[in-house]
Each structure stands twice: as C-alpha cells, then as structure tokens.
Amino acid sequence: MSVNLQTPIDYLKGVGSSRADLLRKELGIHTFQDLINLFPNRYIDRTRYYKINELQQTNAEVQVIGKITGFKEVAQKRGKRLVATFQDDTGTMELVWFRGQKWIRESLKANKPYVAFGKCNAFGNKFSMAHPDLELMEAHEKNIRSAMQPVYPSTEKLSNRGISNRVLCKIMQQLFIDSGGKFAETLPENMRSELHLISKSSALFNVHFPKSSELLSKAQFRLKFEELFYIQLQLIIKNLVHKSKIKGLPFTKVGDYFNTFFREQLPFDLTGAQKRVLKEIRADLGSNAQMNRLLQGDVGSGKTIVAFMSMLMALDNGFQACLMAPTEILSAQHFNGLQELCKPLNISISLLTSSSKTSERRKIHESLENGELQILIGTHALLEDKVKFKNLGLAIVDEQHRFGVAQRSKLWRKGPTSPPQSSRREEAKKVLQKYMTARPSTYKLLKELQSENKKKSTQAEQILWESLRGKKLDLKFRRQHIIDEFIVDFICIEKNLIIEVDGGYHNTIEQKEADDLRTKILNEIGFKVIRFTNEQITGDIDNVLDYIEKQLKSLPSGEIREASIPPHILVMTATPIPRTLAMSVYGDLDISIIDELPPGRKAIKTVHRFDKNRLNVFRFIRDEMDKGRQIYIVYPLIQESEKMDYKDLMDGYDSIARDFPMPKYQISIVHGQMKPADKEFEMQRFIKGETQIMVATTVIEVGVNVPNASVMIIESAERFGLSQLHQLRGRVGRGAEQSYCILMTGHQLSADSKTRMETMVQTNDGFEIAEVDLRLRGPGDIMGTQQSGVLNLKIADIIKDNDILKHARHQAKNLLKTDPKLALPENQVVLNTYKQLTRFKNIWNYIS
C-alpha cells in the first residue's frame, strides 16, 4: 500500500494531536517523510534475554523476561517512588519509577509475562532497573523485530511525557505497516547497479529494523550516498544555472594597465600557483557569465597581488573595482599596499571606512559616481546606499566568511544599470497580444481585464488570497495588480515578490512561452516571480505558504529598480577550508587555490612553552630585539568575557613594561575598546619601527604586515582555535629573516588543547591544520551558524563520510555532464526527486 509521505504526522495511528505537537516541537517531525528520516543514533543487541541470576553490575542495557508480582510506594526526600517486584524462575529484581506513578500503575498488569529493557543497577545483592521499557510478551512477539534495536534521538520533555524510545519504535513500525514497507525509489537503476546499492525500501527498513549488521551497513551507505549525492547535484546545478543565466560584464581584453604592471612594475616573480589562478580568473572574466570564484590561499601565499592584477583587468575594460575587508585595520593595510602599486600607473584609489571624515566621504561618493575613482577599498561602509559606482565591474571580498549573506548580496546590486532595452518592451507588447484584442488604450484595457480577472478567479486563487489577505505571512499583498504592461495575480510590493497561479489554460506551448517571457521581463525590471499550479494550492496550502514565507525572508526590502548587470565576484580567504567543506558549503562556486609560498620565505619555527619557561622566552625575545627585530605578544579576546580579557591584557602589559623598561624599549598596545584613531596611531608606530613590542588582542589576527616582526608570542594559546592560531602565526615570517611563533600555556591542558598545540608545532600547512580543526570542532563551529545550515545532515557525516562525499560529487558531475537537463528516461527519477527537494525545501539555495 502506498502512503503519501507529506501527510501530517497527526494522522499516523498511535500518534494523535497531543503527541504530534510534541514531535513537531522537540524533533521537528511534521510529516511522515520527517519521521522516516529520523534515523537511529545507535543500536542495541536485543537478541539475548537475561535471567535475573545472570545480571552483572556493568551498567549495560539488558532485557529480562518476568512477571510483576507486586507494587509498593516508597517515601523519599521529594515525593514518592513507585517500586514493582519483578520475578522470573531464578530470582527477583525491582523496577523503579520516580515520576508518572499513577499512570504506570494503572497501565501495568500483575502476573503477566513482560519483557523489561533498561540499565541495571545493583544495590547490595539486589538489582533494579529505573524507568524500564516494558512490553507484554504477547505484543513483543508480534512486533517488527530486528537483531539490533534502534535507539532514536530524544529529549527530556519527550521522555517526561511518555514518548520513550519504545514508543518511537512503535510509531515507526506503524508507518512501515501502513506503507507495506514500499517507498519510492530516488536513484536510477543503472547507478544503483554500478555502485551495488540496495533499494530505497530495503535501505529504510534495514536502517530502522536491521536484520543483521551487514544489512545495516549497506543501508547506511545507500542513504548516506543518496543524501550527499542530492546536495552535490543541487550545488552543481546551481553553479551551471549561474553560468548560463546570470550575465557577466564582458572583459574582452588584457590592456595597458595589466601589461605595464606585469612587465615593468611587478616587484617579484609570480609563483606557478599564482599564474595558474590568474589564468582561471582571466577565463571567467572573458566569458559571458558572471564570475563567482572562491580564492583560497594560506597566509603569505600572495592572494593580494592576484586580486590587484584582477582589478587591473577590470580597469583595462573601462570598469571600476572594489575590495571589501571585514576590519578597518585590514582595509587600511590593503589600501596602503595597493596605493604604492597604483602610483606608477596613475590609478586613482581611495579608502572608505566608518572612520572616514564627512568631507572625504563626499569627495569619494562624487568621484565614484562620475567614474574618476577607479578602485575603492573599504569595510562594510562600501555597502551603504550612498555608495554608488558609475560602472563597478569587479567586487572582491576578503575574509569573506566574516560577512553575512545579505551583506555580500548587496554588492551584486552595485553593478552598472543596464540601459533601457526597447526590444524588451517590444517583446512585452507581443506578450500582451496573447491576452487581448486591440483596444484604443492599453492602460484602460488592463484596468478592464483586472476587474474581469477578479470575477473569474479560480478556487485555488481564492484559497491563496484568503491566506494572503489574512496576513498569515505578516506582509501586505495586492491582488490582480498592474505592473508595467502586465496584470499579476498577487504581489508583495515591499519585497518585489510576484506570485502567479497557473490554471488549465497555461498548458499550451504558446502560453508557456508567453509565461516564460513575461517572467523574464518581470525579473529584469526587479521582481522575483514564483509560480504554483492550482493542484499545489488546493492540495496543500500550508506547504505553499511555507515556501512563500521562505522566499520573502530571502528577499531584501526595496523599490523597483532598473536591472543591473552584477559585477564579477571574487571572494578570498586566508583560512584554508578543508576539501570536504569546500565541496559542501562552497560546492556551487568555482574554487582556485594558491598552494605555493613565494620563494625565499623561510618556514616559521613554532614551539610550545609552559608558563614556567617565561624567563627563558623573555631572554630569547630580548636577543631578537637586540638584532633589531620586533615582537608581537597576543592575548585572547573572547566576547563573553571582554572585561576579564581586557584585564588580562593590561596585567600582561604591566608585566612586560617592567621586564622591558623605557627608554630602551618602546611598547605599543592595541585592543578592541580603543578608538579607531588611537588604534591606527599605535599600529603606525609599530609599522614604522618606533616601538619594538606590540601587545594586542586578536584585532591583529589579519591585516598587519610588518616584515621586520620576527616573533609571535600567543598567551593562553589553549584558549584559541587552530585556525586563529594559524592566522596569528601568519603575522610573522614576512621578511627574509627566520621567524618564530611561541605558544604559551598553563600545564592543565585538555586532550583537544594538546592536539592543537602538537599540530601547530608539527606543521605550517594551513590545509593540514584545517583538516585537524574540522575533526576537532565539526563543520558547524568552523563555518559559523550562517553557513553551516547546509550541513544539517540527516544521516551522513562529512568528516567520517569524506570518501562517500567525494564519490557522490563525482557521480553528480558525471550525470550532469552526460545529461545536463536530466531529460533521459533513466534519469526521470533523479529529476523528480530534485524537483521535490528544491520546490518547497529550498534549504541549499544560499548566496555564497
């Protein structure tokens, strides 16, 4: 028997509205589909039944067959506990409940055979089992059983309300009984055959009720592969759609700026990796699609020079370029470095941050709009509405993981506005002819049609309108609204979202072409258009509203605007991303990696020292300063305890000032509570060599380039993550001299802290460090909440299942290479599953 997996969980036998509410709130189970995808955390061997005289004090979960021979209530500090005597032919034990006594006592039957399952505890010579799973032997023998008992995710609230693991098992059994264990296949037969994958139905049965450990393993592999395959399929399709649908500004030539710089001004030879990456960027910029590329490179690998040469390509083609960095220190660092490179080429470049004076801002805004300013470097200030480019062609985002999705998307809208396209308007008029016969006034006709359409609205339109009009989505919608030369079914003007309902007359080829063209035109004049069929609305209005709500949340508020061609986007990170994460989180971007350091750079020597070695460490840095070198000493800064950390920093500063007194030694101090001008003043003193020691918090993690600084001391290094330690270490080693990183810690270190220290001492390879970091912290912590949502996997684990992920991506790529539109009959099942995943879930559709 086939069941509709989109059926609300309330309608499954044994659930009901009360349990359904709990399952929704606690485990996010709304439908049969959600329930079937609630995979067990672990499994328990339920093949053996113990006799009471065989029990051992092991704290293991066991099952015992026996009868309840009596109950008693025992007083305790708070309330009472219920104790039942449980007996078999070898002895007696106790079953204990600390809550729910009344309900439990009424539901259990004395002198009937039960199977009791739980953890045993021994008190003296007597064993007891607290809150056991109890099942009548008669029912136990009838149930779907497996050698390995599933244990499902749960919460304290579920347990307290009587939804135990046994109840979850029974609910799952009911779903399999109702469906007959038959579930729609989601992978094509040829792929299953090639990879020796079991069927979807068999995989689901054996992951919930495994008949053997071998079948469980096959089931898990099949379901993990499927989950990762469809993530990769969606990301790759998104990348292909991006390239085919989103037009890019054509950079047709490499001209004087680039060639002059490359031949005459380049201060050093490019590495092979830099040359390779520049070729990849050049190919993107020369195509007709918008570049959307991630540039990864370890600290000191030379990403900035690649970014600058990419900017020169934009300038050669008559476009402007910008670079956005997350902090004022980093943006000023970029500006100072690039300004020196721009001078010989007579390129105009400016810096814009929140600290820029009003007079400077006014000048920048003006020269940016008239095209005189060619390159703009800055922080979030670049995203302000007042910042308008004449023709932005390339936007570079540095340390991109520090910007939110909405912030990065604002750069898209700063591209040059496309000129009015009269041909587009002509096409619009042709579309109108499909709706009407000639009348004297188009607008008058549209008003008449608007009124007529309201009278003839379908049942689906009425259902949708009732929900929209009732403000179920908290935003105002208009119905049968006139936009330009069209009447749209529903519109939210605040979000520029149009909803169209496709009835029976939208099925002809001619009408579909008209609909596609109409959608394209509305997109080009600034609207997002989503479409539903009558059947979707009448069949499941809640699902439709959920989808509309997700679209609304993803759209910025704004006015209708002329279409702009987005600039090419290059996002950079000096935090190496493990390959598994890059394939999953950034799988829709093209990725370039600079995996080679410039020649002449010496590897930084890293050592771990305990606090007791501080005198030796101070002696060492005194020797380095006597050679004319400079020193960083960094203290941790954790947001939740800024005051404490500030105290740590000031105590540290006082101690260092005593050991390295003036006037022989000069010390700079930089922390997040300083005014930007004071911070910049201290930074400049250090950069100019006026101070030998920089005492700082992690504000110097990125953006400080002082080749003369040869030692980085990181205090309380155990409080830093691996990627932060690696970033801080990258502040030294920028000159020709040997540099050092000293990790200072206390003696009491956790296992993870020891691993971090050992990893830093053993390797300078950022990618190797990133892999260790991923194993220690997991994807969510590394990517942050905004970007780790994509990795909210049901059964796969991108760390443990790394090989399956690579395999899944390979299969997805090959499939799309041979059948880009998934049009072949054998791939129909993939197309249907893909449509289902993207239609209402839309969980992986994010801006990278």
Q: Domain ranges in the chain?
A: 16-179, 256-287+302-417+564-573, 422-554, 605-763
514 alpha-carbon distance from chain centroid: 37
Instruction: For residue 78, give the nearest of 95, 101, 98, 103 by alpha carbon.
Output: 98
Instruction: For residue 321, give the nearest of 568, 61, 585, 638 by alpha carbon.
Output: 568
| Identical fold between 256-287+302-417+564-573 and 605-763 | yes
Instruction: Identify the bridge partners of residue 712 per DSSP, sorted by sequence position.
Output: 632, 741
Longest CA pairwise span in the chain (Å): 100
Query: What 8-state DSSP symbol labels residue 157?
Result: H
Q: Which of 51-65, 278-292, 297-311, 553-567 has the lowest mean pLDDT?
A: 553-567
pLDDT digits (tens, 9 = 90+) for 757-816: 999 999 988 878 888 887 787 655 444 434 444 456 788 887 778 789 889 999 999 999
What does the pLDDT read at residue 780? 52
pLDDT, mean of residues 288-299: 83
Q: Which of 104-118, 306-320, 578-592 has the lowest mean pLDDT?
A: 578-592
195 alpha-carbon distance from chain centroid: 29
Phi/psi of residue 378, nearest 5 degrees: 180, -175
- pLDDT band, residue 680 (cuts 50/70/90): confident
User: Residues 811, 191: contact at Cβ < 8 Å?
Assistant: yes
Residue with tokens 């330690």: 725
Q: Which of 96-105, 167-176, 436-445, 521-530 has the lowest mean pLDDT?
A: 436-445
Among the four given CATH numbers 2.30.110.10, 1.20.140.10, 3.40.50.300, 3.40.50.720, the one describing domain 605-763: 3.40.50.300
Fold of 422-554: Endonuclease; Chain A (3.40.960)
What does the pLDDT read at residue 41? 87
**What percent of the chain shows pLDDT beyond 90?**
30
What does the pLDDT read at residue 504? 58
Q: Give CA–CA dist 135/173, Å, rounded.
A: 15
Considering the entire predicted model, what is its pTM? 0.60
What does the pLDDT read at residue 257? 94
Query: What 8-state DSSP symbol labels residue 838?
Result: I
CATH no., domain 256-287+302-417+564-573: 3.40.50.300
Question: Residue 718: pLDDT above 70?
Answer: yes
Mean pLDDT of the chain: 82
Q: 455 is written with which tokens?
A: 């009278």
Alpha helices in 402-528 (DSSP H): 405-412, 422-433, 442-455, 459-469, 509-524
Fold of 16-179: OB fold (Dihydrolipoamide Acetyltransferase, E2P) (2.40.50)
Q: Which amino acid is at 334?
A: H
What does the pLDDT read at residue 448? 63
Contacts of 640 by beta carbon, 8 Å cutoff, 6+ apart: none
Contacts of 696 by beta carbon, 8 Å cutoff, 6+ apart: 632, 633, 634, 635, 649, 668, 669, 670, 671
pLDDT, mean of residues 808-826: 91
At 129 the three-state DSSP class reads: strand
Q: 835 is written with which tokens?
A: 């449509």
At 4 the three-state DSSP class reads: coil
Spell out where 190-316 has E strands. 292-297
pLDDT, mean of residues 436-464: 63
pLDDT, mean of residues 597-625: 89
pLDDT, mean of residues 664-684: 85
Q: Give CA–CA dist 258/246, Å, rounded.
A: 26
pLDDT, mean of residues 38-51: 84
What does the pLDDT read at residue 434? 45
What does the pLDDT read at residue 67? 95
The H-or-E segment that residue 224 falls in is: helix 213-245
Q: Give CA–CA dist 386/394, Å, rounded.
A: 19
Q: Give CA–CA dist 435/220, Å, rounded.
A: 53
Instruction: Collect contacts of 98-104 with beta carbons under 8 A, ≥24 apart.
Output: 98/130, 98/131, 99/160, 100/162, 101/73, 103/162
What does the pLDDT read at residue 320? 94
At 75 the three-state DSSP class reads: strand
What does the pLDDT read at residue 782? 46
Render the burial of 526-545: b for 16+ CB within 10 Å, e for the rest.
Answer: bbbbeebebebbeebbebbb
Q: Give CA–CA dist 7/21, Å, rounded.
A: 15
Please give the residue that has the higher pLDDT: either 171 or 438: 171
- pLDDT band, residue 408 (cuts 50/70/90): low
- pLDDT band, residue 563 (cuts 50/70/90): very low
What does the pLDDT read at residue 844? 30
